[in-house]
Amino acid sequence: MFFFDTIGFILLLPAFLLAMLAQARVTTAMSKFSRVNTARGMSGSKIAEAILSRAGVSDVQIERLDANSGDHYDPRSKTIRLSAHVYDSSSVTAVAVAAHEAGHALQHSEAYTPLAMRNGIFPIVRFTSAAAIPLIFIGIMLGLGSEFAPILIDVGIIFFATTVLFHLITLPVEFNASGRAREVLEVGGYLNDEELRGARKVLGAAAMTYVAAAMVAAMQLLRFFLMSRRR
């Protein structure tokens, strides 16, 4: 009953609907503009390289991933890793994604505070997020007759709260990276006006997935908290 309840349904349904809408929107936008090549014909890797050079950042590497997903910036090795269809492609989608990841590299070079906070708590969150649900579940299985059950559930909820915190810190990091991407693509003249509109749609749609993820996590935390009070 802890996991399947009316409260959980009421809290989580809107969040899940938003997540589904956000995912559908980003999938549609990225698919549409992946078929639109930019007039300048610069690939995603070249765009990222140009953005870094323009900002005077010379210690960041750009690597090609064999897979067609997983674009990210690795602050530990100072490496932008781009999937094959972003690294090689000159589509509006590829350029927007590459510029976004370059935005993270610029954040790192400038010691952008939210990024430093996210990187700092990541090792902790990696552990607590994996342990939260199992702890709550074990506490439920032990039942109210066990003195350890409430403790396990409360610790699990605290652990899950770190996941929510991570999502909340991620929001300004991702929005700022997208903002940097939009600005540099426009100021640098890498895209024309029509292409810029497409890039904004791709970046905006991608940003909404982070909002939806944060909302789902927050509602799940609220659900766990309210139900734990009813023990």
Per-residue pLDDT tens, the chain, 231 aa: give them.
Answer: 444 567 777 878 899 999 999 999 999 999 999 999 999 999 999 999 999 999 999 999 999 998 777 899 999 999 999 999 999 999 999 999 999 999 999 999 999 999 999 999 999 999 999 999 999 989 888 876 678 888 999 999 999 999 999 999 999 999 999 999 999 999 999 999 999 999 999 999 999 999 999 999 999 999 888 877 765
DSSP 91: B
CB distance 104 to 115 below 8 Å: yes
Coil, strand or helix at 106:
helix
Q: What angle do CA 98, 99, 104 make, to 5 degrees?
A: 95
Domain residue ranges of the chain, discontinuous segments joined by +: 6-229
Please identify every residue annotated as catalytic. 101
Name the residue with tokens 């699990």: 156
pTM higher than 0.85, yes or no?
Answer: yes
